Amino acid sequence: MQVGIDKIGFFTPNKYVDMVDLANARGEDPNKFLIGIGQKEMAVADATQDAVSMGINATMQYLDKIEKDKVGLLVFGTESGVDQSKSASLFVKSALKLKPEVRAFEVKEACFGLTAALMIARDFVRVHPDQTAIVIGSDIARYGVNTPGEVTQGAGAISLLVKKDPAILSLNDGHSAYSEDINDFWRPNNSKVAMVDGKYSTQVYLDFFTNTFEGYKKQKNWNTRDFNAILYHLPFTKQGLKANRLAIADQDEATVKRLEDSFEASKQLSMRVGNIYTASLYMSLLSLLENKQLEPNSLVGMFSYGSGAMAEFFSGNIADGYEKEVNVNKTNEMLDGRTQLSVDEYEKIFNDALIDPIDGQELTSDEKSGVWYFAGTQNHIRQYRQK
Tell me the three-class secondary structure of the chain, residue by residue.
CCEEEEEEEEECCCEEEEHHHHHHHCCCCHHHHHHHHCCCEEECCCCCCCHHHHHHHHHHCCHHHCCHHHEEEEEEECCCCCCCCCCHHHHHHHHHCCCCCCEEEEECECECHHHHHHHHHHHHHHHCCCCEEEEEEEEEECCCCCCCCHHHCEEEEEEEEEEECCCCEEECCCCEEEECCCCCEECCCCCCCCEECHHHHHHHHHHHHHHHHHHHHHHHCCCHHHCCEEEECCCCHHHHHHHHHHHHCCCCHHHHHHHHHHHHHHCHHHHHHECCHHHHHHHHHHHHHHHCCCCCCCEEEEEEEECCCEEEEEEEEECCCHHHHCCHHHHHHHHHCCEEECHHHHHHHHHHHCCCCCCCCCCCCCCCCCCEEEEEEECCEEEEEEC
List 41, 109, 111, 290, catalytic entry: 111
Residue 196's pLDDT band (cuts 50, 70, 90): confident
Q: Are residues 122 and 199 in the same domain?
A: no
Q: What is the CATH number of the domain that holds 163?
A: 3.40.47.10
Q: Are residues 141 and 233 in the same domain?
A: no
List 41, 106, 233, 367, catalytic entry: 233
- 175: annotated active-site residue: no
Of the residues 285, 300, 322, which one is the last residue of a structural domain?
322
CA distance 139 to 343: 22
Amino acid making up residue 384: Y
Of the residues 322, 341, 372, which one is the last residue of a structural domain?
322
Q: Are residues 300 and 231 in the same domain?
A: yes
In this prediction, residue 195 carries a pLDDT of 82
Residues 162-174: pLDDT tens digits? 999 999 999 999 9
Q: Are residues 356 and 376 in the same domain?
A: yes
On the question of pLDDT at 384 being above 90, the answer is yes
In this prediction, residue 134 carries a pLDDT of 98
On the question of pLDDT at 197 being above 90, the answer is no
Range of the domain at 295: 173-322
Q: Are residues 308 and 182 in the same domain?
A: yes
Whether the model clears a pTM of 0.85, i.e. scores above it, the answer is: yes
Q: Are residues 366 and 338 in the same domain?
A: yes
CA distance 359 to 378: 6
In this prediction, residue 256 carries a pLDDT of 98
The arithmetic mean of pLDDT across residues 267-287, rounded, is 98
Q: Are residues 217 and 154 in the same domain?
A: no
Q: Are residues 160 and 55 in the same domain?
A: yes
Residue 146's pLDDT band (cuts 50, 70, 90): very high
Residues 260-273: pLDDT tens digits? 999 999 999 999 99
Give me the percent of the chain exceeding a pLDDT of 90: 95
CA distance 156 to 106: 17
In this prediction, residue 186 carries a pLDDT of 81
- 233: annotated active-site residue: yes
- 362: annotated active-site residue: no
The arithmetic mean of pLDDT across residues 212-237, rounded, is 98
On the question of pLDDT at 193 being above 90, the answer is no
Of the residues 322, 351, 377, which one is the last residue of a structural domain?
322
Q: Are residues 115 and 247 in the same domain?
A: no
Q: Are residues 199 and 260 in the same domain?
A: yes
Q: Are residues 148 and 217 in the same domain?
A: no
Residues 356-382: pLDDT tens digits? 999 999 999 999 999 999 999 999 999
Mean pLDDT, the chain, rounded, equals: 97
Residues 88-118: pLDDT tens digits? 999 999 999 999 999 999 999 999 999 999 9
In this prediction, residue 52 carries a pLDDT of 98
The domain total for the chain is: 2
Q: Are residues 32 and 130 in the same domain?
A: yes
In this prediction, residue 109 carries a pLDDT of 97
